[in-house]
A and B are shown apart, each in its own frame.
Chain A
Amino acid sequence: MSPEQEQVIISKIQNGELPLFTDIYDHYIKQIYGFIFNRIRHKETTEDLTSVVFFKALNHIGTYKGGGAPFAAWLYTIARNTIIDHYRKAKPQDPIEDFWDLASDINIENDAEKNIQLAQLQKRMQTLTPRQREVVTMRVWDNLSHKEIASVLGISESNSKVVFSRAVSQLGETGIVALILLSLTQ
């Protein structure tokens, strides 16, 4: 579905053709599910929260204003806020930034070598700020554009690019250091 087709459908939905919402659903279900799963890592909870996101979107689609902000960003914002609400209910005392980390069960691969690499990556990600981790995750795993990331996080597009660039550079530097150390020990 092209952005233009999407806007036509959204306009029709907002003008009363609500059953067309399933077109939007078909287009975004896998992306939103993936966005939530990347942060929750629990199938049943992901399904519950995904359902909540789409029902919220359907019930409030009249509030989507368009005018430059992509619809995807609006939907991802609902998803992000739903995840935040979920964590606040589950662990109200913990800082919300802690939830934007890679999940601790990242070592789900059967490949032992890959598990080691992932563990090292997770260590390096801990050197980033929560905002950096969030931008990196949204850009690389969720494949959102910087325009969409900016809209979801309430920052500017250029800010999103800068945050990402610094994060990757920082990971790259520590990676280079790790590589050097690794080569010295072999």
Chain B
Amino acid sequence: MDPLNNILNELYQLDPGLKNHEPALKKIIAELLASKPHIKIDEQFIKTLRTKLSLQADSLQTHTHSNGWFKLPYAVSAIAVIVIIGASTILYFNRTIPTPENISSNNQQLQEKNTILALGKNAFGSLAEVPTNSGRGSGGGGGNAASSYMAPEAINGDISTKMIAPDIMQPNYRFVYRGEPVSLSDTEVTVYRRVKGLTVPQSLANQIAKVNFGILNSNNFSQAKLDSYTLNQESDFGYSIMVNLSEGTINIYQNWSKWPQPQDNCNNEACAATSRIQLEQIPNDDEVIAIAQNFLKEKGISTQGYGTPFVQNDWRIQYDQMPDKAEAYIPEILNVTFPLSIGDVPVYYEGGQKAGLNINVDVRNKKVSAVMEITNQRFESSSYAAVTDFEEIKRLAEQGNFRYATPFQQGTITDIPLGTPSKGLVKLMQYTDGKNNELFVPALIFPVENLSRGNPYLYQTHVIIPLAKELLGKEQPPAYILEKSAR
């Protein structure tokens, strides 16, 4: 019923005589309703406040001791609980199907699309504390990824020019930019940092932290708290679910002991060869994606915030290049990536592949064998000074990466064209104050062209150069073994 008639009916229930004045009452109530201010609420305000409240709730949760008795929703008598503080907890659940009423707070967080809390400038400290490459695909996935030529003495002026050559003589590739001119006008870029943490009900965490094993009594460790745990499925093709609460990540792997391993029964190469995957056993991409999607749907793992999934088929580049297909690598595991975007900007690993939710599909058994990087999508953002000199960016792109130039080996050099870059975010790890942080830094994504044109060992699909000023100009030599470097 509409508001006006609702109000009228309330009035008539109270005083039926008011019906005699219905026209006037209708008029005045209509005027009152029409005079209601038009309220336009800022959606960004709603999201920002939600994030702040969520952080406050998490903070309160760690300092709250429940007085209530926590009722496990599953059959307690069927559970064997083993707790190792700070390491892993193994629980066996007799589960019921999840219903909306028992969706946990963890799933609520994992189901959110990006929520971003804006902080002040340079809020994450120095971005340059990035000691290692991040994630998968770093380094380009094989081969002597193209690099600009560097005279050996340019690596380090007082180091001997003698180098111990790598075992494999690989081709020299040199990236050359062939794209359009690019103008970089923004003096600042927005860097994102993932907000870590998942929660379990505090009462459950408290119970686990107080277990007395006899040989060890957890109660003797004050202020100990649950940090991570593992669930193992003891059924055929079961899984191990590893939950890291402080990192805010969940990874699912095969419970190896419950999956068939045919090569374990082999003790010679001939036997192993018979169990090797053949090309015709590789399913088409649609089938692989369907296996992944059905698994996620069945297990209630949300893909909200991720883009259209695709199969990582880089292995086919190598396969096509191999003259003897019998020797070519055919994977037993195919990877499906649900690509992540933050604010509609795609995220990449440093090595050039798209980052996101990763699902491994076991080709032999046509089953999902792993789901990696299930995380929340809560971020903080902060502005940092940006590079505006495209020539510098181009120089680093032609180097193949922003960290170091790899000297060429003896032999011919093949030019590999780089196309006009698009904008993206590169996922980098920052180690500061004893913590590992996941940063997502705006970057230019240069596509590597001519990948399949008979260029062996060239698997790098993109060259990624970040646009945050303080990350550039700090190239270090690669960790070659140099004669005098032992000094």
- Hey, which bits of chain A sit against chain B, CB under 8 A? 5, 8, 15-23, 25-26, 29-30, 33-34, 37-38, 41, 43, 47, 50-51, 54-55, 58-59, 102, 106, 108, 114, 117-118, 121, 136, 139-141, 143, 146, 161-162, 164-165, 168-169, 171-173, 175-176
Contacts and interface: CB of A to CB of B under 8 A. Distances in A.
A55 B51 CA distance: 12
Contact of A168 (B11, B50, B56, B60): B11
A18 B11 CA distance: 41
B57 A58 contact: yes
A168 B29 contact: yes
A172 B58 contact: no
A28 B36 CA distance: 18
B11 to A, nearest CB: 5
A8 B100 CA distance: 11
Contacts of B25: 168-169, 172
Given A16-B201, A19-B109, A168-B25, A51 B39 contact: no
Nearest to A4: B101
Interface string B18-58: 10010011011101111111010110011001101110111
B411 interface: no
Given A16-B203, A47-B45, A139-B7, A23 B108 contact: yes
A8 to B, nearest CB: 6
Contacts of A172: 21, 24-25, 27-28
B308 interface: no
18 contacts: A16-B70, A16-B201, A29-B50, A34-B39, A38-B36, A43-B42, A58-B56, A59-B56, A121-B31, A136-B32, A140-B33, A161-B14, A162-B14, A171-B28, A172-B25, A173-B24, A175-B28, A175-B31
Contacts, number: 134
A41 B38 CA distance: 10
Given A23-B108, A25-B50, A140-B32, A18 B61 contact: yes
Contact of B57 (A15, A19, A26, A176): A19
B68 interface: yes
B contact face: mostly helix, strand, loop, or mixed: helix
Nearest to A174: B28
A175 B24 contact: yes
Given A51-B49, A168-B29, A17 B201 contact: yes
How large, as a class, is the contact surface on chain B?
35 or more
Contact of B35 (A59, A106, A164): A106
Contacts of B53: 21-22, 25, 54-55, 58
A8 B108 contact: no
A114 B37 CA distance: 12
Interface in B111-131: none
B27 A50 contact: no
A8 B105 contact: no
Given A55-B56, A165-B15, 16 more contacts: A16-B201, A16-B202, A18-B64, A19-B57, A22-B57, A29-B46, A34-B39, A50-B49, A58-B60, A139-B7, A140-B32, A165-B11, A165-B14, A171-B32, A175-B28, A176-B24
A87 B65 CA distance: 37
Top 5 nearest A-B pairs (CB, nearest first) are A19-B105, A16-B66, A18-B57, A172-B24, A15-B68
Given A146-B10, A165-B18, A172-B28, A20 B56 contact: no
Interface of B: 3, 7, 10-11, 14-15, 18, 21, 24-25, 27-29, 31-37, 39, 41-42, 45-46, 49-50, 52-54, 56-58, 60-61, 64, 66, 68, 70, 101, 104-105, 108-109, 199, 201-203
A30 B41 contact: yes
A114 to B, nearest CB: 8
Contacts of B203: 15-16
A16 B64 contact: yes
B239 to A, nearest CB: 25
Contacts of B54: 19, 22
Contacts of A121: 31-32, 35
Contacts of A143: 3
B60 A18 contact: yes
A169 to B, nearest CB: 7
Nearest to B21: A172
A95 to B, nearest CB: 23
A165 B29 CA distance: 11
B193 to A, nearest CB: 20
B14 A19 contact: no
A139 B27 CA distance: 16
Contact of B21 (A8, A50, A169): A169
Nearest to A170: B28
Contacts of B70: 15-16
A117 B30 CA distance: 12
Contacts of A140: 3, 7, 29, 32-33, 36
A1 B201 CA distance: 22
A102 B35 contact: yes
Contacts of B52: 51
A47 B57 contact: no
Contacts of A20: 105, 108
A136 B54 CA distance: 35
B471 to A, nearest CB: 34
A161 B10 contact: yes
A34 B41 CA distance: 8
B62 to A, nearest CB: 10
A50 B46 CA distance: 10
